[in-house]
Amino acid sequence: MKEKLVLGIDAGGTHTDAALLALPEAAAGLPQARLLASAKVSTRHEDLPGTVRTVLAALTAALAEAGLDGPALLGRVERATLGTTLAVNALVQGRADKVGLALSAGPGLDPVHFTLGEHVCIVPGGLDHRGVEVAPLFTGTLAETAARWPGEGVAAVACVGKFSPRNPAQEQKMGEVAGGASGLPVTLGHSLSGRLNFPRRVATAYYNAAVARLTGEFLDAVEAALACAGVRAPVRLLKADGGAATLAFSRREPVQSILSGPAASVMGVMALWPEAAEGCSLLLDMGGTTTDLALFYEGSPVVDRDGMLLMGRRTLVRALAAISIGVGGDSQLRPERTQDGALAVHVGPVREGPAMAFGGERPTLLDALNVLAPAGGMCGDGAASRAGMEALAASLGTVLAPGGATQLARLAVENACDQVARAAYALVEGVNARPIYTLAALKAVREARPTRACLVGGPAASVRPYLEQALALPVAIPPHAEVANAIGAGLAVPTAVLEAYADSGRGVYSVPALDLHERLGRHATLESVADRTRELLEERLAAEGVTDAAVEVVEADLFAILDDGGRGSRDMRVACQVRPGISARLSAGA
């Protein structure tokens, strides 16, 4: 049977992984993929092209060891998909770009309540809920403020008007003025979502601007590295809901892919772990920097219906329900005294390099796990781990009795697992607070309580028994767990999005992306507009050779409005996309 090759690459804060997979071109149901080779290298943040070239070279070497022609196979790749935590890590660590935020709200609640960052300009002016101007825009102050932003370290601008989805004119004017005065790239809030939620649109536009440069540089680096390796296939980036979007879309809306790393691990577990199809399961992905947690219900990941949560703020980005905490194999250990004078060890969220077992200078969680591991069960240089833990124990003086390294290690592992358990509890309670919605469907269940967990990531084998105890759940480690994210990225289904707008007052149906404008019938409904938009997306996909994609409506909003003459009309907005998922499962014998 003829096969097609796909490539998955996951760039994490600690490691970059790659997986080359073979899929049968024609198969009934969900086909079985074969893993031809995988590779893992340390991420060099100062040299991302070099990191990707290195992981591809390692992949080529692995293929050669199996008697396969690596360069020839890479040249046959038909699709390359990326996942990364670089953007979210930059936000968490305060390394994202500074953003100048321009807000206009008109009458009502003061927009100052929804600001983000230190560089904010409130612009007088505004629209009403129909999109009618109720106060003219005054941009003089904005021009003066934006001109100062580059000198204050601001690298990007976000402009948001309260009712801009109804009428973007004032928001567009703010963008022209701010961009012209500062010379900086501008994100406009209405271009990211047509939903009427001002606080969430502010956060969405702000974070889009904050990570746009970082995401663009990452995509440029990977594209260049893939080209050097002979990969000529289309490249996509995972979105936060697990769909793989084109690079043009990802550059325009980088906020959609801030949580692509957790999405990659979810897609990987779908491909690697058949048990996810039964009941409710907890996913744990422990890397070097963070642990990501997500939930599965009957084989499908649970979706966060409230929108992606970033730094405590809700956005308008559709995302999987996931939590990320700063606990990983390379997380630093911080001994501290409790109120009653006892010793405690806090793990993370700081990561200052690799574990001492892999050449680092300070003990980490992985070093603590090595001290507790049985003979032969250590990762890297176990002697270096023990030496580092003994030195840390000695620095605490008489606080620890003889055998202090083991006591210290036990306290560290208990703290790490306790943090993971508390995050899991918060995730489950948050999901059960509302009706449960998965990528597959709305689930008619009262609540979802995991009865098992799946653990992937580098330290999986070492930490598994301790997590089982902390979670009081059986914890499984699927095959190829150390590169699950790269496998998930490679097997993620390419997605496409199409947005349409209908104005019953003017009798117009329009799809900006297709430059299409049609007459809207007098009796048009939200359902008929959604059906037409779904049909157009299916036609667009068919023209690209995709005939079996599952298209779903992800947004459908109707606004009843009155014009100044008291006549009623309806504004409708619909967004359709290909339902995220995987194109194959990994064969048990791969």
Query: Does 404 have pLDDT greater than 90?
Result: no
Q: Are 1 and 16 in contact (CB under 8 A)?
A: no
Q: Is 489 exposed, middle or buried (0-12, 13-18, 19+ CB in 10 A)?
A: buried
Tokens of 171: 């928001």
User: Which range is most confident: 106-110, 306-310, 459-463?
Assistant: 459-463
What is the rounded distance in angstroms from the CA atom of residue 225 to the CA atom of residue 458?
A: 24
Query: Does 476 have pLDDT greater than 90?
Result: yes
Query: Does 440 have pLDDT greater than 60?
Result: yes
Peptide bond into 150 cis (omega under 30): no
Strand 333-337 to 343-347 pairing: antiparallel
For residues 568 and 333, the model is more confident at 333
Q: What is the mean pLDDT of residues 325-330?
A: 89
Query: Does 442 have pLDDT greater than 70?
Result: no
Q: Per-residue confidence at 110, pLDDT binned at 50, 70, 90?
A: confident
Give me the pLDDT at residue 23, please: 87
pLDDT tens per residue, range 313-323: 899 888 888 88
Query: Does 60 have pLDDT greater than 80?
Result: yes
Q: Which of 43-52, 371-380, 502-511, 544-553 has the lowest mean pLDDT?
A: 544-553
pLDDT tens per residue, range 238-277: 999 898 988 988 999 999 999 998 899 999 998 998 888 7
Q: Per-residue confidence at 365, pLDDT binned at 50, 70, 90?
A: very high
Give me the pLDDT at residue 368, please: 94
- The 8-class DSSP code of residue 124 comes to S
Give me the pLDDT at residue 256, please: 93
Angle subtended by helix axes 198-228 and 48-65, to nearest 10:
50
CA angle 311, 316, 317 (to 5 degrees): 80
Strand 186-188 to 235-238 pairing: unpaired
For residue 579, give Cα distances in angstroms to 40, 70, 113, 281, 289. 30, 33, 35, 21, 30
Strand 98-104 to 154-161 pairing: parallel
Give me the pLDDT at residue 103, please: 94
What is the rounded distance in angstroms from the CA atom of residue 72 to the CA atom of residue 66?
A: 14
- Reported as half-sphere exposure (CB side, CA atoms, 13 A), residue 8 has a value of 39
Q: Confirm whether 3-92+217-262 and 274-477 share one CATH topology.
A: yes
**Among 177, 321, 154, 160, residue whose Cα is nearest residue 240:** 321
Give me the pLDDT at residue 421, please: 96
What is the rounded distance in angstroms from the CA atom of residue 133 to the CA atom of residue 124?
A: 12
pLDDT tens per residue, range 197-249: 899 999 999 999 999 999 999 999 899 889 888 898 889 999 998 989 889 88
Q: Are 61 and 74 in contact (CB under 8 A)?
A: no
Query: Does 385 have pLDDT greater than 80?
Result: yes
Q: Per-residue confidence at 513, pLDDT binned at 50, 70, 90?
A: low
Give me the pLDDT at residue 9, please: 92
Tokens of 416: 């790490």
222 Cβ contact partners less than 8 Å away, ≥ 6 residues apart:
9, 11, 48, 49, 52, 82, 235
Residue 570's φ and ψ, nearest 5 degrees, are -130, 135
- CATH classification for the domain delimited by 3-92+217-262, as one of 3.20.20.60, 3.30.420.40, 3.40.250.10, 3.30.565.10: 3.30.420.40
Domain ranges of the chain: 3-92+217-262, 98-214, 274-477, 497-578
Query: Does 1 have pLDDT greater than 60?
Result: no
For residue 487, give Cα distances in angstroms to 195, 456, 510, 590. 34, 12, 38, 12
* Local structure of 108: helix, strand or coil: coil
What is the rounded distance in angstroms from the CA atom of residue 296 to the CA atom of residue 276?
A: 6
User: Which range is most confident: 355-369, 394-408, 446-460?
Assistant: 355-369
Give me the pLDDT at residue 567, please: 64
Residue 311's φ and ψ, nearest 5 degrees, are 50, 35
What is the rounded distance in angstroms from the CA atom of residue 422 to the CA atom of residue 122?
A: 39
**Among 266, 312, 268, residue whose Cα is nearest residue 116:** 312
316 Cβ contact partners less than 8 Å away, ≥ 6 residues apart:
192, 193, 195, 197, 200, 201, 204, 307
Query: Does 544 have pLDDT greater than 70?
Result: no
**Among 480, 354, 359, residue whose Cα is nearest residue 12:** 354
Q: Are 17 and 288 in contact (CB under 8 A)?
A: no
User: Which range is most confident: 123-132, 148-157, 473-482?
Assistant: 148-157
Q: What is the mean pLDDT of residues 49-54?
A: 83
Q: Per-residue confidence at 474, pLDDT binned at 50, 70, 90?
A: very high
Give me the pLDDT at residue 246, please: 86
Q: Per-residue confidence at 40, pLDDT binned at 50, 70, 90?
A: confident
- For 201-249, the DSSP string reads HHHHHHHHHHHHHHHHHHHHHHHHHHHHTT--S-EEEE-TTS-EEEHHH
For residue 476, give Cα distances in angstroms to 263, 365, 425. 19, 20, 19
The percent of residues in the chain predicted with pLDDT above 90, rounded, is 39
What is the rounded distance in angstroms from the CA atom of residue 453 to the CA atom of residue 155?
A: 42
**Among 511, 510, 582, residue whose Cα is nearest residue 540:** 511
pLDDT tens per residue, range 74-85: 899 999 999 998
- CATH classification for the domain delimited by 274-477, as one of 3.40.50.150, 2.60.40.3140, 3.20.20.10, 3.30.420.40: 3.30.420.40
- For 266-291, the DSSP string reads HHHHHHH-GGGGSSEEEEEEE-SS-E
Q: Are 500 and 546 in contact (CB under 8 A)?
A: no
Mean pLDDT (the chain) is: 86
248-284 exposure pattern, b = at least 16 Cβ within 10 A, e = fewer? ebbbebbbbbbbbbbbbbbbbbbbbbeebeeebbbbb
Angle subtended by helix axes 404-432 and 365-372, to nearest 10:
120
